[in-house]
């Protein structure tokens, strides 16, 4: 009971939170109080230190004012009022920073001398006319000795003390020597100098000996502060030093208390929250559990209904299924057979139960089927077999049976469920098939013999063919090497053919230059013919060599920058004699004075030469027009003639090697017919395109375009 | 003072033709019929212009170019290769080997002298 009570208390978040709050509050406030006590002790120590220091300073001030006043008094008693009063006074004032003025008062109470004059314009003032100014003066006269008056509200402002010494010459009172010390300044200085170490304000008081009342040196009222009054031993009167601590130290304790209080609230709130949280979680879990239990119940009920339903379905299905269905237990004993099974066996339901069903098996099959069944039961495996049933009415049915084991989730055998179908028809068919098969086999073996003979013949044939293909391969290699040999031959011929041509053309030219002597007209004419034929032959040789290089794939081009316009002009200059002789005009349309082309100069010139000389060759009249255009970064050149033109069917064959159009034996124009084929190859090799447009009888336009730079 | 020209050429006809052409045009011609002979004569006579046939029996013309350039003939000697290959790339090969120019065979007597002079002038301009 006690346990449950404490448990209950602990479980109640409100109680936990509140008790945490109380405990923390008390602890923190206790600590704050202790802190406060420590602070106060430290403060008291500090106050004592400060009081001692200030007391010594005050004592020093009082002592010095005493000695200063007396010294002045003595001087006057002995020598009368000195002429150099100011000098003496200045020396005296130097002694202490809080001395404000030195005065002399005559026997009637009139102030006769003051130093410094500035700020002390009181000469001629009678001190006896004012109670404050005369305070302590009469006392001095009465005592016939030094006395300190104060606190005195000074005429110059501030509150101070006045040290007076009565001067008696020949027993007669002749006046006072006086030193005024403004103690309010001293105190103000102390208060202004409060710093980290000095956390106090100070006030000084003295009991008025006439009224017996305590009077203060600072005018500000400090009664609202908590202060410590310490009596100070000074001569002449009861002095008290008030020490007023600044709030700082106490504040730390208060802060401590406040923060402690706030933390108590926060922690107790957390305690309340977290204890409450566990309660809330518990509630949540309980609710969830209840929901789940309800759901489980629902599921259970639904499942039961479903099982009932499926049981009904199973029974209905098995009863009316057109196959035999049976059930056995884990011992292999029959527990159920359906209508169809009973139809095959001619048995009643009860007759089939346990091992009664085995009696339905045809006697010849019985031992085999029993063995198979026992094996399936003992091995927990499937049962599969074909056998005959002998009906009581004598009818034999061939059955194909299959039984699947039933196991629970732990893989324990519960029994078997099986079906058996009537396969009598199939068995009958199979028997017939077997007969067929036997016949067929005989036939096949006969055929196979025939085929194997054919195969052998085929293999022989294949072998022959293989031999032939090897021969062919050899031939191919031979042909290829012949190609190579042809190329090598052509390369050699290139040099060998050209060397004699070099001589023929060269020497003819030399002779024509008449270095060796003057030629007559006929000699010159004939030599010119030799030169012309030589150049023509060289052209043919070059064409043949080029085309063979192209066919051997050995044509190489090299790229360099050159001026296309210059090349074109050179070619036109070279060909114009031919044009002039046929009364043809060559016109050019060049948009630029200079076109720098990066290509194979010699090959480009070869193409130009071919196209323009073709134009001359196939024109009988008109103009040959050469247009040069820059399209994007392609240089396009058109050679337009007004010659015989080319028919449509011939246009296709134009760039094919060895074909001169309008050909056959009736060639009307000299040439190999290789020029255009070579030109096409060259232009394509140089990254360009070439095309032709033509109409029979009206002329042709050849256009080739080359990239300015590859 | 006639300009000295060394011709390195193995074909007698060509040699005759070139030397005849050059002499008729006022040059002094030195003849070498093989690479070795030409190399020797270039050193002995220090001609202003050397014409080299690329296809020689003993030495490749390019090889002679490289050797001459690296074996102390005066730097301002003009070396011109004469070739009938015209397979493309002859110009590059010649310049790479240190020749200053390249004239294609068959030699055209009408233009040969002017081509040679222009290559020689360009060389001396540099």
B21 vs A503: CB contact, 8 Å cut-off? no
Is B104–A506 a contact, with Cβ atoms under 8 angstroms apart? no
- Which of A154-158, A180-184, A432-436, A570-574 is most confident? A570-574
Sorting pLDDT into bands at 50, 70 and 90, what band is B119? very high
Evaluated on CA atoms A30, A31, A36, A41, the torsion sign reads positive
Contacts 24+ apart (CB under 8 A), A139-145: A139/A209, A139/A210, A140/A164, A140/A165, A140/A166, A140/A176, A141/A166, A141/A173, A144/A168
Give the nearest partner residue to A510 out of B11, B85, B109, using CB atoms: B109
Cis peptide before A27 (omega within 30 of 0): no
Cα A590 → chain centroid: 60
CB contact under 8 A, A506 and B106: yes
Q: How many beta-carbon pairs under 8 angstroms link A with B?
A: 65
User: Is pLDDT above 60 for A218?
Assistant: yes
| Of A232-236, A276-280, A660-664, minimum mean pLDDT range | A660-664
Secondary structure of A525-589 as H, E, C letters? HHHHHHHHHHHHHHHHHHHHHHHHHHHHCCCCCCCEEEEHHHHHHHHHHHHHHHHHHCCCEEEEE
- Please provide the average confidence, as pLDDT, over all residues in chain A: 82
- Residues of chain B positioned with their CB less than 8 A from the CB of A501: 106
State the burial class of residue A308 (Cβ atoms within 10 Å of its Cβ: 0-12, 13-18, 19+): exposed
A592 has a pLDDT exceeding 50:
yes
Q: What is the pLDDT of residues B60-84, one digit of tens each?
A: 888 888 888 887 788 889 999 987 6
| Tens of pLDDT, residues A354-365 | 888 878 888 888
Range picked from A404-413, A507-516, B42-51 for highest mean pLDDT: B42-51
For chain B, the distance separating the N- and C-terminal CA atoms, rounded to the nearest angstrom, is 23
Is B110 close to A509, i.e. CB distance below 8 A?
A: yes
Structure confidence at residue A663 (pLDDT): 47
Inter-chain CB proximity B86 and A560 less than 8 Å? no
Cα A401 from Cα A398, distance rounded (Å): 10
Q: Give chain B's radius of gyration (CA, Å).
A: 13
Name the residue among A380, A352, A58 with its Cα closest to residue A189.
A58
pLDDT at residue A617 is higher than 80: yes
Q: Which of A502, A515, A600 sits opposite B24 (nearest CB)?
A: A515
Q: What percent of chain A has pLDDT over 90?
A: 14
Residue A666 has pLDDT above 50, yes or no: no
Q: Is pLDDT of A271 > 50?
A: yes
Is the previous residue joined to A151 through a cis bond, with omega within 30 degrees of 0? yes
Model confidence at A425: pLDDT above 90: no
Count CA within 13 A, CB hemisphere, residue A286: 6
Enumerate domains of chain B plus CATH numbers.
4-125 (3.40.50.2300)
Task: Judge whether residue A664 has pLDDT over 50.
Answer: no
The pLDDT > 70 percentage for chain A reads: 92
Report pLDDT for A665. Answer: 38
The mean of the pLDDT values for chain B is 87
Best residue in A494, A496, A509 to probe B by mutation, most B CBs within 10 Å?
A: A509
Residues of A in contact with B17 (CB under 8 A): 502-503, 506-507, 510
Angle at the Cα of A528 from the Cα atoms of A524 and A534, rounded to 5 degrees:
145
Output the pLDDT for position A661: 53
Q: Out of A255-259, A289-293, A584-588, which region has the weakest mean confidence (pLDDT)?
A: A255-259
Residue A329 has pLDDT above 70, yes or no: yes
pLDDT at A3: 55
DSSP bridge partners of A707: A634
Question: How many angstroms away from the CA of A490 is the closest CA of chain B?
Answer: 12
List, for residues A357-401, the tens digit of each pLDDT value: 878 888 888 888 888 888 887 777 788 888 888 888 888 888 888
Question: Per the CB < 8 Å rule, is B14 touching A506?
Answer: yes
pLDDT at residue number A475: 84
pLDDT band at A222 (very low <50, low <70, confident <90, very high): low
Higher pLDDT, A649 or A225: A649
Of residues A250 and B102, the one with the higher pLDDT is B102
**Residues in A lying within 8 Å of B, measured between beta carbons:** 494-495, 498-503, 505-507, 509-510, 513, 515, 538, 555-558, 560, 600, 602-603
Residue B94, phi then psi, degrees to nearest 5: -65, -50
Mean pLDDT over A208-217 rounds to: 78
Distance between B79 CA and the closest CA of chain A, angstroms? 20
Name which of A510, A556, A558 is nearest B20 (Cβ-Cβ): A510
In Å, what is the CA distance from A111 to each residue of A78, A102, A122, A177, A473? 20, 11, 7, 10, 156
Confidence at B31, pLDDT banded by 50, 70, 90: very high
CA distance A446 to A453: 12
Residues 6+ apart with CB under 8 A from A707: A599, A633, A634, A635, A686, A687, A688
Chain A residues with CB under 8 Å of B106 CB are 498, 501-502, 505-506, 538
Task: Please give the residue of chain B at the shortest CA–CA distance from A500.
Answer: B13
In which band, very low, low, confident or very high, does the pLDDT at B41 lie, cut at 50, 70 and 90?
very high
């Amino acid at each position: 009971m006690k346990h449950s009570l404490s448990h209950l208390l602990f479980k109640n978040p409100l109680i936990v939170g509140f008790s945490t709050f109380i405990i923390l509050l008390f602890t923190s406030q206790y600590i704050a109080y202790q802190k406060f006590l420590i602070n106060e002790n430290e403060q008291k120590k500090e106050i004592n230190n400060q009081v001692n220091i200030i007391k010594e300073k005050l004592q020093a001030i009082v002592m010095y004012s005493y000695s200063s006043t007396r010294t002045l008094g003595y001087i006057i008693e002995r020598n009368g009022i000195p002429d150099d009063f100011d000098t003496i006074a200045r020396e005296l004032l130097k002694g202490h920073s809080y001395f404000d003025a030195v005065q002399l008062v005559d026997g009637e109470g009139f102030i006769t001398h003051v130093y410094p004059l500035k700020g002390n314009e009181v000469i001629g003032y009678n001190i006896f006319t004012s109670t404050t100014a005369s305070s302590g003066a009469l006392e001095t006269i009465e005592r016939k000795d030094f006395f300190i008056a104060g606190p005195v509200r000074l005429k110059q402002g501030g509150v101070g003390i006045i040290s007076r010494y009565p001067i008696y010459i020949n027993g007669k009172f002749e006046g006072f020597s006086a030193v005024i010390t403004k103690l309010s300044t001293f105190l103000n200085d102390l208060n202004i100098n409060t710093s980290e170490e000095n956390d106090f304000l100070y006030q000084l008081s003295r009991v008025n000996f006439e009224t017996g009342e305590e009077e203060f040196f600072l005018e500000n009222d400090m009664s609202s502060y908590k202060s410590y009054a310490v009596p100070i031993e000074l001569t002449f009167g009861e002095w008290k030093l008030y020490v007023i601590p600044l709030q700082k130290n106490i504040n730390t304790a208060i802060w401590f208390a406040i923060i402690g209080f706030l933390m108590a609230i926060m922690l107790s709130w957390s305690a309340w929250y977290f204890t409450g949280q566990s309660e809330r979680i518990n509630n949540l879990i309980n609710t969830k559990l209840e929901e789940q239990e309800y759901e489980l119940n629902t599921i259970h009920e639904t499942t039961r209904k479903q099982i009932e339903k499926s049981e009904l379905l199973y029974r209905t299905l098995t009863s009316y299924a057109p196959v035999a269905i049976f059930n056995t237990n884990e011992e292999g004993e029959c527990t159920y057979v359906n209508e169809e099974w009973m139809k095959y066996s001619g048995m009643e339901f009860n007759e089939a139960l346990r091992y009664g069903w085995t009696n339905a098996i045809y006697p010849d099959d019985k031992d085999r089927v029993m063995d198979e069944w026992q094996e399936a039961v003992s091995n927990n495996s499937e049962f599969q077999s074909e056998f005959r049933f002998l009906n009581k009415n004598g009818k034999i049915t061939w059955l194909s049976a299959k039984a699947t084991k039933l196991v629970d989730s732990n893989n324990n055998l519960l029994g078997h469920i099986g079906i058996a179908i009537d396969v009598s028809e199939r068995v009958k068919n199979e028997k017939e098939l077997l007969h067929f098969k036997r016949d067929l086999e005989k036939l096949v073996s006969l055929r196979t013999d025939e085929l194997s003979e054919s195969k052998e013949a085929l293999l022989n044939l294949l072998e022959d063919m293989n031999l032939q293909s090897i021969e062919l391969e050899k031939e191919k290699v031979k042909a290829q090497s012949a190609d190579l040999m042809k190329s090598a031959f052509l390369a050699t011929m290139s040099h060998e053919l050209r060397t004699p041509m070099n001589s023929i053309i060269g020497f003819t030219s030399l002779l024509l230059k008449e270095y060796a002597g003057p030629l007559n007209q006929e000699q010159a004419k004939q030599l010119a013919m030799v030169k012309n034929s030589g150049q023509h032959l060289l052209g043919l040789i070059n064409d043949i060599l080029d085309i063979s290089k192209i066919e051997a794939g050995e044509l190489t081009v090299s790229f360099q920058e050159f001026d296309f316009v210059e090349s074109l002009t050179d070619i036109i200059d070279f060909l114009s004699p031919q044009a002039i002789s046929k009364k043809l005009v060559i016109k050019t349309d060049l948009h630029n004075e200079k076109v720098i082309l990066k290509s194979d100069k010699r090959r480009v010139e070869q193409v130009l030469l071919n196209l323009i000389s073709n134009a001359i060759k196939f024109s009988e009249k008109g103009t040959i027009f050469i247009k040069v255009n820059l399209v994007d970064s392609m240089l396009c050149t058109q050679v337009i003639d007004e010659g015989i033109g080319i028919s449509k069917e011939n246009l296709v064959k134009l760039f094919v090697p060895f074909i001169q159009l309008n050909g056959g034996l009736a060639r009307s124009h000299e040439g190999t017919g290789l020029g255009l084929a070579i030109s096409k190859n060259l232009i394509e090799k140089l990254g360009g395109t070439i095309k032709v447009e033509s109409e029979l009888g009206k002329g042709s336009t050849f256009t080739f375009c080359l990239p300015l730079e590859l | 003072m006639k300009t000295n020209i060394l011709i390195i050429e193995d074909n007698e006809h060509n040699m005759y033709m070139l030397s005849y052409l050059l002499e008729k045009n006022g040059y002094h011609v030195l003849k070498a019929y093989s690479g070795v002979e030409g190399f020797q004569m270039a050193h002995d006579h220090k001609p202003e212009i050397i014409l080299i046939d690329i296809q020689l029996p003993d030495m490749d013309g390019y090889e002679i170019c490289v050797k001459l350039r690296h074996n102390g003939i005066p730097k301002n000697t003009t070396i011109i290769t004469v070739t009938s290959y015209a397979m493309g790339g002859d110009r590059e090969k010649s310049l790479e080997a240190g020749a200053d120019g390249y004239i294609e065979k068959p030699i055209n007597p009408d233009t040969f002298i002017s081509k040679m002079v222009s290559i020689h002038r360009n060389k001396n301009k540099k």
